[in-house]
Chains A and B, each alone.
Chain A
Amino acid sequence: MATESASEGGLVFHPLDQFIVKPLFGDGAVAWYTPTNVTLWLAIAVLATAALFVLGSRGRAIVPTRVQSIGELFYGFIYKMVEDVCGRDGVKYFPYIMTLFVFILFSNYLALIPMSYSPTSMIAVTVVLGFGVFIAVTILGLVKNGTEFLGLFWMSDAPLFLRPVIAVIEVISYFVRPVSLSIRLAGNIAAGHVVLKVFATFAAAAVISPAAIVGIVAIYGLEILVCGIQAYVFTILTCVYLKDALHPAH
Chain B
Amino acid sequence: MEGDLAHIGAGIAAIGSGLAALGVGNVAGNYLAGALRNPSAAAGQTATLFIGLAFAEALGIFAFLVSLLLMFAV
Contacts and interface: CB of A to CB of B under 8 A. Distances in A.
Contacts of B61: 183-184, 187-188, 191
Interface string B6-48: 0000000000000000000000000000000000000000010
Given A16-B72, A85-B47, A236-B51, A188 B57 contact: yes
B72 to A, nearest CB: 7
Measured as residues with beta carbon below 8 angstroms from the partner, the interface class of chain A is 10 to 19
A188 B62 CA distance: 10
Interface in A188-212: 188, 191
Interface residues of B, number: 13
A236 B57 CA distance: 15
B58 A236 contact: no
Interface in A222-250: 229, 232-233, 236-237, 240
Contacts of B72: 16
**Main SS at interface, chain B:** helix
Nearest to B54: A233
**Main SS at interface, chain A:** helix
A180 interface: yes
Contact of A183 (B47, B55, B62): B62
B58 A232 contact: no
A180 B51 contact: no
Given A16-B72, A183-B61, A84 B51 contact: no
Contacts of B65: 183, 187
Nearest to B61: A187
A152 to B, nearest CB: 17
A85 B51 CA distance: 12
For B50, B54, B64, B65, the residue with the greatest tally of chain A CB atoms inside 10 Å of its CB is: B54
A52 interface: no
A237 B51 CA distance: 7
A8 to B, nearest CB: 13
A183 B72 CA distance: 17
Nearest to B63: A187
A233 B64 contact: no
A82 to B, nearest CB: 12
Contacts of A85: 47
18 contacts: A81-B47, A84-B47, A85-B47, A180-B55, A183-B61, A184-B57, A184-B61, A187-B62, A187-B64, A187-B65, A188-B57, A191-B61, A229-B50, A232-B50, A233-B53, A233-B54, A236-B50, A236-B51
Interface of B: 47, 50-51, 53-55, 57-58, 61-62, 64-65, 72
Interface of A: 16, 81, 84-85, 180, 183-184, 187-188, 191, 229, 232-233, 236-237, 240
